Structures are given as C-alpha cells and as structure tokens.
Amino acid sequence: MTTPNFISFEGPEGAGKTTVIQAALPEIERISQKKVLLTREPGGNKMAEAIRDLLKAQTNPAIDPWTEVFLLAASRREHVVQTILPALSKDQVVVSDRYLDSSLAYQGGGRGLGQSAVQEINDFAIADPKTKQPVLPALTIYLDLPVEIGLERIFQNRTDKIDRMDKEDVLFHQKVRATYLDLAKENPERIKVVDASQSKADVLKDVKAIIAEYWR
C-alpha cells in the first residue's frame, strides 16, 4: 500500500534531482491544487539534518556500513513522524528529494548489505505510528543516467561540496544505479524512470508528463 500525495525523487549522484524538483514544483502545485511541502533525505527536520551532516562528513576510521544504515533509518523515522505525516494530515503534497529507495540502492546495493536486511530495518522507520502501515510514496520519479555522466557533473560544478558518498569508487556508484534499475523493474506502477542524460528542459518535460498522469 502506498501513501497518496507523497512523491519521491531518486537517482544516482548528479542525476539532476534538485534541479528538476525546483523547476517542477510550481507545476505540482498547479496540477494538485494543494500546498506542496518540499523536503529531503537525509534531512527534513532539525535532528535528521544533524544526522545528514554526520553522514556527509569524512570520518577516520570509515563509518561502519550498518551504522550508516541505522543512522539513515533514525533520520528517516524523525522525517516521517515530525515532517511527512503532519504535512499529509494537513492535506498537503509532500515531495521528498530521496527516501527509502536511496537506502535500498546505496546501502543495500552499493554497500552490498542486501535489500531485504535494509528493508527490514527500515520497516520500523517508515511505519505510521497510528495505523502501523508503511509510509511509502505513491509515485517515485527515478532519474536515470550513466554513473560517469553524473559524477562528471558533480566534480565539474560542485568542487566545494564533494561529500563522503560522492568520493566512493565508480563500482560503488554502478551498483547503486543497478539496484535502482532493479527496483524500477520490480515496482513499475510506483517508480517511473526518466532519462536524466537529456537536456534539463527535456528532463523537466518528462517529469511534468508523469506528474500530469499521476493526478489525471
């Protein structure tokens, strides 16, 4: 079961999520006729943003992969309880830049921990405290592009903000992308794939079409 009016955007590094979300927001507002809350993961409230800072920073020794999963799940729990559910209960649309699929792709796939174990831990994080039902997006727009293009975009344009995850090797990012593509194949109703190697204008056009179809 998925949660109406909850939309997530996903993609490997440099896919253009932030760019296209900003551009698509007025359209989402117009088509849904609702106030839209834009949020992100890791993050979305004070505690979750603090965990984001921890996760982005370089650590020595390297953070244990399971610690990474637990920190992400803890930040997601705060995000669900403090930010996402209250907005949905006010009949707002929630647009999240990344959500659970990121953990399945990055930690399950990239780190090689496996999707089922990462999902199991996250089942606690995403359960609605009242209904016990999982809080899952009704629509996920996955921006797909070859890893090399995404990393090139980041390393060319954002040299001041390169974080711990960006610096993982190409194989890690390829496993992330492969897992996203598997997830999209397994969940064709929820996850819509957009070719993010296109121009910004064409990516936006495809995203708008998916949004229009969702509210049709």
Ligand X SMILES: Cc1cn([C@H]2C[C@H](O)[C@@H](COP(=O)(O)O)O2)c(=O)[nH]c1=O
Does the footprint of ligand X cover residue 83 (CB under 6 A)? Answer: no
Does the footprint of ligand ATP cover residue 14 (CB under 6 A)? Answer: yes
Does the footprint of ligand ATP cover residue 167 (CB under 6 A)? Answer: no
Helical packing angle, 200-214 and 17-32, nearest 10°: 40
Please pick, from the candidates 106, 140, 145, 191, the single residue that binds ligand X as defined by CB under 6 A: 106
Q: Which amino acid, residue 189?
A: E
43 is in an annotated binding site: no
Does the footprint of ligand X cover residue 108 (CB under 6 A)? Answer: no
Nearer to ligand ATP, 81 or 154 (CB): 154
12 is in an annotated binding site: yes
Strand partners, 140: 8, 191
For 64, other C-beta atoms within 10 Å of its C-beta total 10
Cβ–Cβ under 8 Å, residues 207 and 24: yes
Does the footprint of ligand ATP cover residue 157 (CB under 6 A)? Answer: yes
| Lookup: tokens for 49 | 């943003």
Cβ–Cβ under 8 Å, residues 52 and 43: yes
Cα(104)–Cα(110) distance, integer angstroms: 9
Does the footprint of ligand ATP cover residue 200 (CB under 6 A)? Answer: yes
> Which residues participate in the annotated binding site?
11-18
> Which residues participate in the annotated binding site for ATP?
11-18
User: In the complex, which residues of this chain contact ligand X (CB under 6 A)?
Assistant: 13, 40-42, 72, 98, 102-103, 106-107, 165
